[in-house]
Amino acid sequence: MILNETESTFKLRFQSIKDGAGSHSPSVLTLKSLFPELDIKIDACFLSNPYATELFMKRFELDFSEIATIRQRLEYYPSQNSFIAEGIAHRIDIKPEHIFVGNGAIEIIQAVIQNFVKQKLLVILPTFSSFYEFAQDHLEVVYFTLLKEEDFYLDLDRLRNFIKYENPDSIVIINPNNPNGNYINSQDLLLFIEDHQHLKNIIIDESFIHFAYEDSDLKIKSLANHSSRFENLIIIKSMSKDFGIAGIRAGYSVMSPNRVKSLLKNGYLWNSNGLSEYFFSLYSEKEFNEEYESVRKKYIIETKVFIAFLSTIENIKVYPSMGNFVLIEIINGTKAIDLVVKLLKSYGIYTRNCDDKRGLIGEFVRIASRSYVENLKMIEAIKEVME
Amino acid sequence: MILNETESTFKLRFQSIKDGAGSHSPSVLTLKSLFPELDIKIDACFLSNPYATELFMKRFELDFSEIATIRQRLEYYPSQNSFIAEGIAHRIDIKPEHIFVGNGAIEIIQAVIQNFVKQKLLVILPTFSSFYEFAQDHLEVVYFTLLKEEDFYLDLDRLRNFIKYENPDSIVIINPNNPNGNYINSQDLLLFIEDHQHLKNIIIDESFIHFAYEDSDLKIKSLANHSSRFENLIIIKSMSKDFGIAGIRAGYSVMSPNRVKSLLKNGYLWNSNGLSEYFFSLYSEKEFNEEYESVRKKYIIETKVFIAFLSTIENIKVYPSMGNFVLIEIINGTKAIDLVVKLLKSYGIYTRNCDDKRGLIGEFVRIASRSYVENLKMIEAIKEVME
């Protein structure tokens, strides 16, 4: 694959922006303001269910058809953390004192790592980089690396031995994992948690759990309702993936009441905003959730089809995923950055170059599943470029 | 003043809610959901310029007349902290590396106290309670109390002696102070800062600075542009007061680049939301600011008139204020809670009972200045109730 002159010029500028953004991709809004000429048609960097965003926006338009209604949400202080937790508690059938509401899951990751992890944190690579970047200087971080030869499958027996050897006080497991989508069966994970009650913290990031399933009903298999059994279990849940509302910043965590209390004792007073409070009020509404369930399942099925089509394309290897994204490896010598630049500049498709992902050796790109039509366009474009 | 039966019944329920909300008043949204029968006409608990909210909402309605435009703000990730800082830097004429953007000023208070204050924090009473509540167990907090006999004026010489005696590493000054509105002249404060360069942190909360003035042009006298001179100076700025957009959660801090870097190193990645990013884009716009300046001055003048009228009412004492609120003391034996309950239940006016404010001994109520018409209604009601 060869870049043309426009693509090569763009590549240089794009790379310098990416370097400035650290280990996260610049958002579409940032990109658009920096490259006004760029026509981004498909944002496959952004891991969200577009049908759920549509569902939410339809309801948003209805509820806020009067400017006075939205003014209320923007003008006044949002409710405090424990008040918003009650709605979420009702929805997921957990006692409210187990719930901590966050300004996005990212705030919860920061709060948990900086308040509860005391000495040594085990992180599984590849991962979402904030899990180790938010560790402050006094913490030691040890890495357990998933193997390419094993399709980045998480071997729990190997992990058990690693824990015995390294003796960390805390561990993070993203399930399904980001950026590869590997999923651990809920029963296996539960056994693992039972066997590791001597750890201070078992942090399970379930931000992508709405896209994983274990039966043909595509039922969500969250472990959140086990938080009353295990004092050391901390479940983190982003809402940006399921609902595609990253700009609203909504996330929550399920943990022991003592932990929630200790966080609220010294902070996190008004960390929700008027629109995240509104979002959570919908989230606890029966009718809205029934509609959501239907678009969740539709999207899962389309994602499976997307991944199946991608795996027929030559010169790339597609890794198994239960997320709403897929990790591909380029195996014909083309650089990941070149594929990303060509797709972005000439096709308007924004994908995630994984060059900066620790634990990935090779040319990897992460691609989110979008709408059915967008997925078809992506397959055509990648086929055209790679074959 | 005697409460009728309805008011007395309401008082019991209201007090139990207030106790649950800790040292902050429940928001109007929370109150409305708990007391649907309550007809709140004037929210004088909420410290904001209603004309600026109107200005903002007018622009909001214009910019987001198409649902697709607001969808962009809600769907995608907001830009990262340093990117949003650039717009603010441009507006207040400060280098961007000095600016840390917060999810409301409250997040900045938490970040500053928990990351920079190491041993002993001096807090001036009465104050905004989060300044001491967010101090974690390893911190010592010492209190310097403003005196009722001195109209809660901050005597800087007395403060200097107190600092020599107590030897704190950090101090918080809110200017104008909340809840009483006392203002320290910028030159005096600057001298104080110069003389206390041995302190680790001088935290100046300028959340109400847009309502204070020193000349007849009503010019804002912020000390933010001195952050390059003083390594230990930290300016905190809420946007909820000037613009009445508490639900959007927008605030920023001006501090040394080293401090900004150290905060961003381990967190605060996407702590803005799509609408706070939008707000800050307006904030850095010349035309919007010219319109804002005009409503800011209009509101200051009306606030002065409001306070003047209030001070003619019998049985209350009005303390001097350069904020957009005023602290009154009831001096005829009526309880503050009874005045607050009567105003809320029978007049639909929500004011702030200061019973829980440390450092205030007596019956104190804080009343925000609202629109001209609302201010007149409040004066009538308070006159009717108190005289």
Chain segment A119-148, per-residue pLDDT in tens? 999 999 999 999 999 999 999 999 999 999
Mutate to test the interface with A, among B32, B51, B269 (most CBs of A within 10 A): B269
Whether B134 sits inside 8 A of A266 (CB atoms) is yes
Q: Over the stretch B268-288, which tens digit does the pLDDT of each residue have?
A: 989 999 999 999 999 999 999
The mean pLDDT of B295-323, rounded to a whole number, is 98
B274 vs A contacts (CB less than 8 Å): 246-248
The strand pairing partners of A145, in sequence order, are A125
A20 band by pLDDT with thresholds 50, 70 and 90 = confident
What is the C-alpha to C-alpha distance for residues A80 and A74, in angstroms, rounded to an integer? 15
Rounded-to-integer distance, Cα B190 and Cα B174, Å:
14
- Decide: A365 and A340 in contact? Cβ < 8 Å: yes
Question: How buried is A373 (Cβ within 10 angstroms: 0-12 exposed, 13-18 middle, 19+ buried)?
Answer: exposed
pLDDT of residue B289: 96
Least confidently predicted of A15-24, A111-120, A143-152, B353-362: A15-24
- B16 band by pLDDT with thresholds 50, 70 and 90: confident
* Strands (E) located in B182-337: 201-205, 233-238, 251-254, 316-318, 325-330
Q: Hey, what are B249's tokens?
A: 């959660």
Beta-carbon separation of A267 and B110 below 8 A: yes
pLDDT at residue A22, as a whole number: 73
Q: Which of A43, A79, A136 sits opposite B266 (nearest CB)?
A: A136
Q: How confident is the model at residue B131 (pLDDT cuts 50, 70, 90)?
A: very high
pLDDT of residue B23: 73
Question: Residue B283, exposed/middle/buried by CB under 10 A (0-12, 13-18, 19+)?
Answer: buried
A263 to chain B, minimum CA–CA distance in Å? 10
Best mutation site among A19, A29, A79, A284 for testing chain B: the one with the most B CBs within 10 Å?
A: A29
Strand partners, B144: B124
Burial class (CB in 10 A: 0-12, 13-18, 19+), B224: buried
At residue B206, φ and ψ (nearest 5 deg) are: -100, 30
Q: What's the pLDDT score for residue B27?
A: 78
* DSSP bridge pairs for B120: B140
Q: Are B115 and B166 in contact (CB under 8 A)?
A: no
**Chain centroid offset of residue A238 CA:** 7
- Residue A327, pLDDT score: 98
DSSP A300: H
CB of A85 closer than 8 Å to CB of A96: yes
Gap between the Cα atoms of A121 and A117, Å rounded: 7
pLDDT value for A300: 98
Chain A neighbors of B266, CB-CB under 8 A = 110, 114, 133-136
Confidence of residue B18 (pLDDT cuts 50, 70, 90): confident
> How far is the CA of A104 from the CAs of A31, A248, B254, B256, in angstroms?
21, 8, 24, 27
Q: What is the model's pLDDT at position B275?
A: 97
- Residues of A within 8 A of B76 (CB-CB) are 27-29, 43, 46, 246-247
Give residue B30's pLDDT.
78
- Of the candidates B386, B349, B303, which has an alpha carbon nearest to the alpha carbon of residue B45? B349
A61, A76, A276: residue with CB nearest B28: A76
Least CA distance to A245: which residue of chain B? Answer: B75
Query: Do the beta carbons of residue A79 and residue A276 sit within 8 Å?
Result: no
Chain A residue numbers touching B21 (CB-CB < 8 A): 80
pLDDT band at A34 (very low <50, low <70, confident <90, very high): confident
- Across chain A, what does the average pLDDT equal? 95
List the single residue in B with minimal CA-CA distance to A51.
B75
User: What's the pLDDT at B25?
Assistant: 80
pLDDT single digits (tens) A335-368: 999 999 999 999 999 999 999 999 999 999 999 9
| Cα three-residue angle B168-B170-B171, rounded to 5 degrees | 100
Q: According to the model, what pLDDT value does residue B34 have?
A: 86
Rounded to the nearest angstrom, the minimum Cα separation between B204 and chain A is 19
Q: How far is B58 from chain A (nearest CA, A)?
A: 9
**Most B CBs within 10 Å, among A45, A73, A136, A273, to test the B interface:** A273
Cβ A78–B266 below 8 Å, yes or no? Answer: no
B/e letters for B90-99, b = 16+ CB within 10 Å, e = fewer, are: ebbebebbbb
Average the pLDDT over B171-195 and give the result: 98
Say if residue B17's pLDDT is above 90. no
Distance from CA of B73 to the nearest CA of A (A): 6
Is B48 in Cβ contact with A71 (below 8 Å)?
no
Strand pairing report for A170-174 and A120-125: parallel
**3-class secondary-structure state, position B44:** coil
Reduce the DSSP state of residue B366 to 3 states and report it.
Answer: strand
- The size of chain B, in residues, is 387
pLDDT digit string, tens, across residues A146-193: 999 999 999 999 999 999 999 999 999 999 999 999 999 999 999 999
Predicted confidence band of residue A25 (pLDDT cuts 50, 70, 90): confident
CA pair distance B108, B130, nearest whole angstrom: 11
- Give the per-residue pLDDT at B22: 73
Q: Which of A107, A245, A277 sits opposite B74 (nearest CB)?
A: A245
**Taking CA B178 as the corner, what is the angle to CA A104 and CA B211, rounded to the nearest 5 degrees?**
90
Question: Hey, which residues does A318 pair with through a beta bridge?
Answer: A328
Which residues of A fall within a CB distance of 8 Å from B74?
Answer: 56-57, 60, 245, 247-248, 275
Q: Which chain A residues are closer than 8 Å to B84 by Cβ?
A: none
User: What's the rounded Cα separation, in Å, for the pair B197 and B230?
Assistant: 7
Is the model's pLDDT at A303 over the cut of 90?
A: yes
Long-range pairs, B307-315, Cβ under 8 A, ≥24: B307/B369, B309/B375, B309/B379, B310/B367, B310/B379, B310/B382, B313/B379, B313/B382, B313/B383, B313/B386, B313/B387, B314/B386, B314/B387, B315/B386, B315/B387
Q: How far, in Å, are A132, A156, B223, B269 from residue B237 at the CA level?
A: 30, 48, 11, 19
- Nearest-Cα distance to chain A for B310, in Å, is 25
Judge whether residue B63 has pLDDT over 90: yes
Non-local CB neighbours of A7 within 8 Å, separated by 6+ positions: A341, A342, A345, A346
Nearest by CB to B247, from A46, A73, A134: name it: A73
Checking if the pLDDT of A31 tops 90, the result is: no
Question: With 90 as the cut, is the pLDDT of residue A19 above it?
Answer: no
Q: Do A247 and B75 touch (CB under 8 A)?
A: yes
Element (H, E) at A124: strand A120-125
- Cα–Cα distance measured from residue B69 to residue A247, given in angstroms and rounded to the nearest whole number: 13
What is the average per-residue pLDDT within B42-59? Answer: 96
B76: closest CA of chain A, how far (Å):
5
Each residue's pLDDT tens digit, B142-151: 999 999 999 9
CA distance B288 to A348: 33
Between strands B364-368 and B233-238, the pairing is unpaired
Please report residues of B whose CB lies closer than 8 A to that of A106: 269-271
Which residue does chain A place closest to B139, by CA atoms?
A266
pLDDT reported for residue A23: 74
What integer is the mean pLDDT of B199-223? 98
d(CA B109, CA A268): 10
A255 to A105, A112, A139, A361, B184: CA distances (angstroms) = 14, 10, 21, 35, 45
B135–chain A nearest CA distance, Å: 6
| Confidence (pLDDT) at B24 | 79
Question: How many C-beta neighbours within 10 Å does residue A226 have?
Answer: 18
Model confidence at A244: pLDDT above 80: yes
Structure token pair of residue B124: 């001036």
Nearest Cβ partner for A249 among B56, B106, B270: B270
Instruction: Name residues whose C-beta falls within 8 Å of residue A316's C-beta, 6 or more positions apart in sequence.
Output: A310, A328, A329, A330, A331, A382, A386
Q: Report the distance separating Cα B288 and Cα A63, nearest Å.
A: 28
For chain A, give percent helix, strand, coil, nearest 5.
50, 15, 40
Nearest to B134 among A60, A78, A267 (CB): A267
Residues B255 and B124 sit within 8 Å (Cβ to Cβ): no
Question: In chain B, what is the straight-line distance between the N-terminal and C-terminal CA atoms, in Å?
Answer: 9
CA proximity to B153, closest of B11, B322, B289, B281: B322
Cα of B162 to nearest chain A Cα, Å: 26
CB under 8 Å to A282, separation ≥6 — which residues? A56, A59, A288
Task: Using CB atoms within 10 Å of the CB of residue A166, give its burial: 0 to 12 exposed, 13 to 18 middle, 19+ buried.
Answer: middle
Q: Beta-strand (E) ranges in chain B? A: 42-43, 99-102, 120-125, 140-145, 170-174, 201-205, 233-238, 251-254, 316-318, 325-330, 349-350, 352-353, 364-368
Size of interface A-B (CB pairs under 8 A): 183
> How confident is residue A30, by pLDDT bands cut at 50, 70 and 90?
confident
| Count of Cβ atoms closer than 10 Å to residue A61 Cβ | 12
What distance lies between CA A210 and its chain's CA centroid? Answer: 11
| B334 in Cβ contact with B313 (< 8 Å) | no
Residue B317: per-residue pLDDT? 98
Q: Is B84 in contact with B274 (CB distance < 8 Å)?
A: no
What tokens appear for A268 in the block?
């996190």
Q: Are the C-beta atoms of residues B324 and B128 closer than 8 Å to each other?
A: no
In chain B, residues with a C-beta closer than 8 Å to the C-beta of A269 are: 24, 106, 130
Phi, psi of B290, deg, nearest 5: -65, -45
Place of tokens 């896209």: A211
Q: Is the predicted ipTM greater than 0.85, yes or no?
A: yes
